[in-house]
Amino acid sequence: MSAVLMSESVPTLRAVPPLPEGARVRLRLTRRGRAVVSALVALPLIVGALVFALNGGGAIASGEQTHASFHYVTVQSGDSLWSVAERVAPSADPRDVIADLVSLNGLQSAVVTPGQQLAIPAKYEK
C-alpha cells in the first residue's frame, strides 16, 4: 500500500511542446518588474543630481575680505549717461561705457538725475 501512496504524491512532469519555427516568446513585464526597471534607470539620475547639487557650489567663500574702492562722478544738471560716459572715458565707445555704468551701478534704466553719484569702472579711471 505504501507504493500506491507514494506514486500519488509525486508530481508528474509534462513535456513542453517545442515552439514552431520563427515563433517568438513574448515576455511580459509585471507591475513589480516595471517598478524595478524604473528604479534602476532613475537611480543613476538621482545620484548624479545629488552629486551636482552638493558640488555645484564650486565657489568657496574665504575668510579674507577684499575692499573695492571706486571713484565716483556726480551727475550734473542736464547730464545724461551719454555725456557722463564721454566725460569719464573720452577715448572709449560711449555705448560700452554706458553699459558698464548701468551694470556696475545696478541702474534699472539709462535715466539719471542731477546729484546722483555713479561709480566708475576701474578700467575707465584716469
User: Which CATH number fits the domain that encloses residue 96?
Assistant: 3.10.350.10
Quick check: is 82 in a domain? yes
Quick check: is 41 in a domain? no
Domain holding 90, by residue range, is 71-124
Domains in the chain, number: 1
Give tens-digit pLDDT for 26-76. 888 899 999 999 999 999 999 988 888 888 766 666 666 666 777 899 999
Cβ contact 101:121 at 8 Å:
yes
Cell of 126: 584716469
Of 94, 92, 64, whose CA–CA distance to 79 is shortest? 94
Quick check: is 32 in a domain? no
Quick check: is 20 in a domain? no
Quick check: is 66 in a domain? no
Q: What is the largest CA-CA distance in the chain?
A: 122
Is 70 exceeded by the pLDDT of residue 6?
Answer: no
Quick check: is 95 in a domain? yes
Quick check: is 84 in a domain? yes
With left for phi above 0 and alpha for psi between -120 and 50, is residue 78 left, alpha or beta? left
pTM: 0.47
